[in-house]
């Protein structure tokens, strides 16, 4: 299984749905809530997102693929689990 990491906002409903999707599918992930970080970490996150051409949250990395927003269809495809959102 590819490593899953994400940048999220603690107040974002789409970020919460993204975390729930991975939890519900028993896929481990690491996340960082941008709004709960110190300024140096926030700057690092923005730099990484800018480098990937991502401007919104959640920002999900599965292996070397980066997905912006809540996209369970792509999460399923990249993790090899069944997409049950249809």
Every domain of the chain and the residues it spans: 4-79
Task: Tell me the pLDDT tens digit for each residue of 38-77.
Answer: 999 999 999 999 999 999 999 999 999 999 999 999 999 9
In the structure encoding, which two tokens stand for residue 49, read together?
């997102």
CATH topology of domain 4-79: Glutaredoxin (3.40.30)
DSSP string, 20-81: HHHHHTT---EEEEGGGS-HHHHHHHHHHHHHHT--SS-EEEETTEEEES--HHHHHHHHT-
Paired strand residues for 5 = 30, 61
Mean pLDDT of the 20-36 span: 97
pLDDT in tens, 1-15: 789 999 999 999 999
Asked if 61 and 5 touch (Cβ cutoff 8 Å), the reply is yes
What average pLDDT score do residues 74-86 get?
82
- pLDDT of 82 strictly over 90: no
Name the DSSP letter for residue 6.
E
């Amino acid at each position: 299984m590819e490593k899953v990491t994400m940048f999220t906002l603690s107040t974002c409903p789409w970020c919460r749905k993204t975390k729930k999707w991975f939890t519900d599918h028993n896929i481990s992930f690491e996340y960082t809530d941008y709004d709960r970080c110190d300024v140096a970490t926030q700057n690092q996150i923005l730099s990484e997102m800018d480098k990937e051409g991502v401007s919104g949250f959640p920002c999900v990395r599965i292996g070397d693929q980066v997905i912006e927003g809540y996209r369970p269809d792509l999460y399923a495809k990249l993790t090899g689990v069944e997409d049950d959102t249809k």
